[in-house]
């Protein structure tokens, strides 16, 4: 009788353990760069920061974000190329966000509008779409646009240095009225995405949180078509500017286990490769693993993939 009870307990433990090991993880959402369709002077800066903020908001949500970089020809369409790229990146669904034309009435606040579209990669169909709007004082928009971007060769709002938008300043973007508006939109986008993704199943198994560190990781950028490495790029990792540490195309990083948020601008892309002005990517560092190398590979149409080696 005692032996039978022990066997039952052992069987229960084995079944429970197997269920835990096969437990599904969060739905992985591929976050594509917010596309600027509005044509406003503040559009490039707003879109780049909004992409980052959407990632940040999803970090504490029911989904797992993965920043995607489809290349310089991306136009916020759920076409065959975009869906194929998202699949190759290993995500379950893709989030497409578009900054629409800002409403600018003769009087009163401007209205910033962003469209969201969550795509089922299995079918290519839209799971859910929405539009988020937020008002902003018309005078604040004009002031911040001139202050941050200036007048470049007679055209207001051309961004001189994409990375400069993220480097530390006396007045960070989020402290500005435009930044506050972007944060509100990012929060709503995260909520809408999590709600839409709830009907999807994850293809990933749940993973335990990495621990330990800090540890050393070498970072470099590669060009797939040329089988070559970038020797010239700007790099910000978790808010720290690492550009001056780039030596022969590599950067020795030191960080604790956990998420890495990387901002990258390459300056020596192969001829005719339609690179993005700014690449935003994220990865999970686990210091319990053997010494690693983190490589960002850029393909023939400027698309990017994170590779651990």
pLDDT reported for residue 80? 96
Other CB atoms within a 10 A radius of the CB of residue 290 amount to 5
pLDDT reported for residue 204? 74
> Rounded to 5, what percent of the chain is helix, strand, coil?
30, 35, 40
Q: Provide the residue ranges of all domains of the chain, joining segments of one domain with +.
A: 27-197, 215-308
Could you tell me which residue, 30 or 38, shows the higher pLDDT? 30
pLDDT (tens digit, 9 = 90+) per residue, 49-91?
Answer: 999 999 999 999 999 999 999 999 999 999 999 999 999 999 9
- Domains 27-197 and 215-308 in one fold: no
State what percent of residues in the chain have pLDDT above 90: 66
Res 231 pLDDT > 80: yes
> In this structure, what are the phi and psi dihedrals at residue 279, rounded to the nearest 5 degrees?
-105, 130
Structure tokens given for 305: 């993939």
SS3 165: helix
pLDDT band of residue 144 (cuts 50, 70, 90) is low
Measured CA to CA, the distance from residue 135 to residue 50 in angstroms comes to 16
Maximum Cα interatomic distance, the chain, rounded to a whole number of Å: 90
Tell me the average pLDDT across 194-200: 94
Residue 20's H or E segment, with its range, is helix 2-21
pLDDT reported for residue 229? 95
Res 13 pLDDT > 90: no
Q: Span 215-308: which CATH code?
A: 2.60.40.2070
Measured CA to CA, the distance from residue 50 to residue 35 in angstroms comes to 10
At how many degrees (to 10) do helices 177-197 and 43-58 cross? Answer: 50
Residue 56, sorted as left (phi over 0), alpha (psi -120 to 50) or beta, turns out to be: alpha
pLDDT (tens digit, 9 = 90+) per residue, 232-286?
Answer: 999 999 999 999 999 999 999 999 999 999 999 999 999 899 999 999 999 999 9
Number of helical H runs and strand E runs in the chain? 5, 17
Res 153 pLDDT > 60: no
pLDDT (tens digit, 9 = 90+) per residue, 110-133?
Answer: 999 999 999 999 999 999 999 999
CATH number for domain 27-197, candidates 3.40.50.150, 2.40.30.20, 3.40.50.10610, 3.90.1150.10: 3.40.50.10610
Other CB atoms within a 10 A radius of the CB of residue 226 amount to 14
Res 183 pLDDT > 50: yes
Answer for the pair 223, 40: CB distance below 8 angstroms, yes or no.
no
Could you tell me which residue, 164 or 221, shows the higher pLDDT? 221
Measured CA to CA, the distance from residue 170 to residue 290 in angstroms comes to 39
């Amino acid at each position: 009788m005692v032996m039978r009870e022990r066997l039952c307990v052992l069987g229960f433990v084995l079944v429970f353990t197997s269920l835990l090991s096969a437990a599904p993880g969060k739905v992985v959402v591929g976050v594509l760069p917010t596309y600027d369709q509005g044509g406003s002077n503040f559009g490039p800066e707003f879109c780049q920061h909004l992409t980052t903020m959407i990632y940040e908001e999803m970090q504490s949500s029911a989904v797992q974000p993965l920043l995607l970089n489809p290349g310089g020809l991306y136009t916020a369409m759920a076409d065959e190329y975009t869906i194929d790229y998202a699949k190759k990146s290993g995500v379950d669904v893709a989030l497409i966000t578009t900054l629409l034309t800002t409403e600018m009435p003769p009087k009163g606040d401007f209205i910033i509008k962003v469209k969201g579209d969550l795509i089922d990669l299995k079918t290519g169909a839209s799971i859910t779409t929405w539009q988020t709007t937020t008002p902003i004082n018309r005078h604040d928009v004009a002031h911040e646009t001139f202050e941050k971007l200036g007048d470049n060769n007679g055209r207001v709002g051309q961004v001189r240095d994409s990375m400069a938008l993220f480097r530390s300043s006396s007045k960070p973007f989020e402290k500005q009225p435009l930044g506050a508006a972007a944060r509100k939109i990012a929060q709503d986008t995260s909520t809408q995405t999590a709600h839409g993704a709830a009907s999807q199943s994850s293809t990933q198994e749940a993973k335990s949180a990495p621990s330990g560190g800090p540890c050393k990781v070498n970072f470099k950028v590669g060009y797939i078509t040329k089988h070559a490495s970038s020797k010239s790029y700007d790099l910000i990792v978790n808010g720290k500017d690492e550009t001056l540490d780039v030596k022969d195309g590599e950067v020795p990083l030191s960080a604790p286990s956990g998420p890495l948020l990387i901002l990258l601008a390459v300056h020596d892309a192969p001829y005719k490769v339609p690179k993005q002005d700014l690449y935003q990517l994220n990865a999970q560092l686990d210091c319990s693993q053997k010494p690693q190398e983190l490589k960002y590979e850029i393909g023939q149409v400027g698309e990017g993939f994170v590779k651990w080696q």
